A and B are shown apart, each in its own frame.
Chain A
Amino acid sequence: MAAMNANSLAVPPVTLGLAIDTTFDDTSVAILRGPRAVLANFTLSQVADHAEFGGVVPERASRRHLEAIQPLLRAATAQAGVRFRELDYVAVSHMPGLLGSILVGLTVAKSLAYLLRKPLIGINHIEAHPYANVLEHGELPFPVLHLVAAGGHTLLIHQTDHFAWTIAGRSVDDAAGECVDKVAKMFGHAMPGGPAVDRLAMEHAPGPYEFPRPLLADPGLDFSFSGLKTAMLYFLRDHKAEAEAHPGPVLAAFFQAVCDVLVAKTLRGARRLGVRAVTVSGGLAASRKLRERFQAACAEAGLTLFYPPPALCTDNAAMVACLAAHRFAAGRFDTLELDGQANLSA
């Protein structure tokens, strides 16, 4: 088993950074002092804007980002008591996500960096999610295995140092969060349906319903949740009355299957990669049921578990700023020709 390394990258405690995240349907601006002191972290959710469509409409998301970003910049600098000129760097998530949305945040961040003559730091939004744990717990020990369950991604990321990571496992079709949202929608819950499913999973014991654990028997670390979603579709077709009479136990059983896969694959990855520390992040990490399951499983396996507070699980610019603070300390900057990118790449 690999030894855990102390984190050697020291972020000066007085640096001031501003970060922007507009990768999906939340507009977020944060200001961070040093690596962890969140002076402001404002996120404007667009959930209500997209409710009538039952999903995020990319063009509407881009329009809302442009409307929201300048007021959020004003609010963040006011709350932090920081003037733009005092910033040491400007960071922005430039991938992955909705390209039109990314370009709004990216262009604003570049404008700031150009005007202030400060470094621009382009951040991979997925790489930033585990840094929500750094904000909460301090520097993480390396090596570490991250489960990132965020939006359209479910990933196991093996990180050996800052900026040094590989994808150990990924969703080959639907991500876990997508699957949960779509199943919640089948039961009439508004998007995003994760919180409703989690609440029911906490309130109800799983009923005597069996749902598949996709790829659990497969020795690999990849995930697949499309089949689980389809299984629920067939269950509703064949047992409509049962589902209507007992939606809580049915959804609790479904969510148990989701948790079983996420927990088992993560622990399998930790064993295989020889890591002793595990983090969970992303929107699905806000689930209390999933957290319970991870706490119990990691305690039993002797793994150290890092979990962010619920407010830092969903998309937020504070985690982007936290990763950017480390990039700033390492002197790893981008040029003003940085482009946005819809897809994930290392």
Chain B
Amino acid sequence: MTNALAIDTTSEFLSLALLKDDRPVASHYAQCGVKATQWVFREIDTLLGGAGLAPEALDALLVAVGPGSFTGTRIGMAVAQTFAQVLERPVIGIDTLSLLAAQTEPPAPASRDARFHALLHCARDEVYYAPFAWHEGLPERLDEIALTTFDRLAAIVGEAPVTLRRFDPGSAMGEAVVSRLRQLPLRYPFPDGLLLLELGLAAFRARPGGPFPPPRPIYLKSEAFRKWRP
């Protein structure tokens, strides 16, 4: 029976979820802006306390490793890595595009091999993308996550369907391109901590007893960038 805490601070939402005895028992999803480091411990404490769990009862930490907000990603990773070190538990990183892919409705069995793309519009005209296919009930990333621009997106995606998330939902950037993409139906409204639990737990169980590779933040852009260009 597994207890696990999922932490996602890669966007302006603070998203947490708690697994107790193999069941999701609590979650938190709220817009926090730049206050993730101020609020995260209060919310973790609320989740753990509500479930009657001490931090020491956790078996694993699951953390979103980006791409996304650079500072936000580091906050979640700093929490998860410190919990992991002090509690001597594994920490498992899940990328944010896999979370977006997991939001989509699984296709009918006949088209399970069909590729689709998860897209994340982060800033300006820049879009993170990666190809996925369904495998044993979970989306499997088929290639490294990459960064492109809206004007190159159509050529990359081709006819494959997509799922798209915008950091700024009000943004119309790239709308001419996006309107021509075939968007997949979603089974789940937000890429939240409960989805992170689902993917993280699958990764945790795929390696009974570990070891788990140390999670690395996914930035993709140079740290000295002004404006990224492909």
Contacts and interface: CB of A to CB of B under 8 A. Distances in A.
B75 interface: yes
A114 B56 CA distance: 12
Interface in B93-131: none
Contact of A112 (B75, B86, B219): B86
Contacts of A79: none
A338 B38 CA distance: 6
Given A57-B224, A63-B217, A111 B74 contact: no
Interface string B72-83: 001101110111
A115 B75 contact: no
User: A-B pairs with the 8 shortest C-beta distances?
Assistant: A111-B82, A60-B223, A107-B78, A59-B223, A336-B41, A337-B38, A114-B41, A115-B86
Nearest to A116: B86
Given A70-B81, A110-B41, A100 B217 contact: no
Contacts of B74: 62-63, 66, 100, 103-104, 107
B70 interface: yes
Nearest to A100: B71
B174 interface: no
Contact of A73 (B38, B71, B85): B85
Nearest to A339: B38
B37 interface: yes
B78 A59 contact: no
Contacts of A336: 41-42
Interface of A: 53, 57, 59-60, 62-63, 66, 69-70, 73-74, 84, 100, 103-104, 106-108, 110-112, 114-116, 336-340
B151 interface: no
B42 A103 contact: no
B138 interface: no
A53 B44 CA distance: 39
9 contacts: A59-B70, A59-B225, A74-B85, A106-B37, A114-B41, A115-B55, A115-B82, A115-B86, A336-B41
Given A70-B82, A74-B85, A339-B38, A103 B224 contact: no
Size class of the B contact interface (CB-based, 8 Å): 20 to 34
Given A57-B223, A337-B39, A339-B38, A66 B70 contact: no
Contacts of A340: 37
B168 interface: no
A115 B55 CA distance: 7
B11 to A, nearest CB: 16
A60 B86 CA distance: 26
B212 to A, nearest CB: 14
Contact of A66 (B35, B86, B217, B224): B217
Nearest to B79: A111
B45 interface: yes
B87 interface: yes
B223 A111 contact: no
B78 A66 contact: yes
B228 to A, nearest CB: 12
Contacts of A74: 85
Interface in B176-230: 217, 219, 223-225
B224 A60 contact: yes
B85 A100 contact: no
B224 A59 contact: yes
B83 A115 contact: yes
A84 B37 contact: no
Contacts of B87: 115
Contacts of B44: 114
Contacts of B83: 111, 115
Contacts of A62: 70-71, 74
B214 to A, nearest CB: 9
Contacts of A70: 81-82, 85
A111 B85 CA distance: 11
B45 A114 contact: yes
A69 B37 CA distance: 17
Contacts of B224: 53, 57, 59-60
A103 B78 CA distance: 9
A116 B56 CA distance: 10
Contacts of A115: 55, 82-83, 86-87
B74 to A, nearest CB: 5
Q: Which of B42, B78, B79 has the most CB of A within 10 A?
A: B78
Greatest chain A CB density within 10 A among B37, B70, B83 is at: B37
Contacts of B82: 70, 73, 107-108, 111-112, 115
Contacts of B71: 62, 100, 103
A106 B75 CA distance: 9
Of residues A53, A103, A112, A340, which shows the largest number of chain B Cβ atoms within 10 Å of its Cβ?
A: A103
A107 B82 CA distance: 9
Contacts of B77: 66
Contacts of B219: 63
Contacts of A104: 74, 78
Contacts of A338: 38
Interface string B15-37: 00000000000000000000101
Contacts of A111: 41, 78-79, 82-83, 86
